[in-house]
Homo-oligomer: A and B are copies of this chain.
């Protein structure tokens, strides 16, 4: 079965590629995930080359990135050197993984720089008129509070292991 040779599914694959790109991931990652997602059986790297039209190199790096995010799983069959891959089908799990990944890295460092600015302002660093300083502290504190709330929210979501539709529904009811 070659899922991707079917035009109907090509649309699907292209859609996921766009979504992937939209959220700052390579288009290829979306395409690979899409192909795996609509495949009833695990696919090898060569299968993916065939179905996506990407080269081995691209597949290799993208599929590893996907695995690191927890969106695909490598499967090793005994007596077969080939690696096979299958897609995560629980999106809530996947989202948690992505949130966890994003939590680190550049974003954290950037947010940290805001916190540091605030600390320095509070500890009297820099030359500001008193009024000026308290204005800056107020403003940046508000931003910091916002980041903290977001951080708290994502960390909480990431910690849950039972995030499913019922939970979402519960949140929605709370908000109404």
- A-to-B contact residues, CB < 8 Å: 1, 6-9, 11-12, 14-16, 18-19, 22-24, 37-38, 40, 89, 91-92, 106-107, 109-114, 116-117, 120-121, 125-126, 128, 132, 135-136, 139-140, 142-143, 145-146, 149, 152-153, 156-157, 160, 165, 167-168, 170-172, 174-176
Contact = CB atoms under 8 A, between A and B. Distances in A.
Contact of A170 (B117, B139, B168, B174): B174
21 contacts: A1-B132, A6-B126, A8-B121, A8-B125, A11-B113, A12-B140, A15-B111, A15-B113, A16-B114, A18-B106, A18-B109, A18-B110, A19-B111, A22-B110, A38-B139, A92-B146, A153-B168, A153-B172, A156-B172, A167-B175, A170-B174
A125 B152 CA distance: 46
Contacts of A38: 136, 139-140
A113 B37 CA distance: 15
A161 B7 CA distance: 44
A84 to B, nearest CB: 18
Sorted nearest first, the 10 A-B pairs with minimum C-beta distance are: A15-B113, A18-B110, A12-B117, A91-B146, A8-B126, A19-B110, A149-B168, A15-B110, A22-B107, A174-B174
Contacts of A89: 139, 142
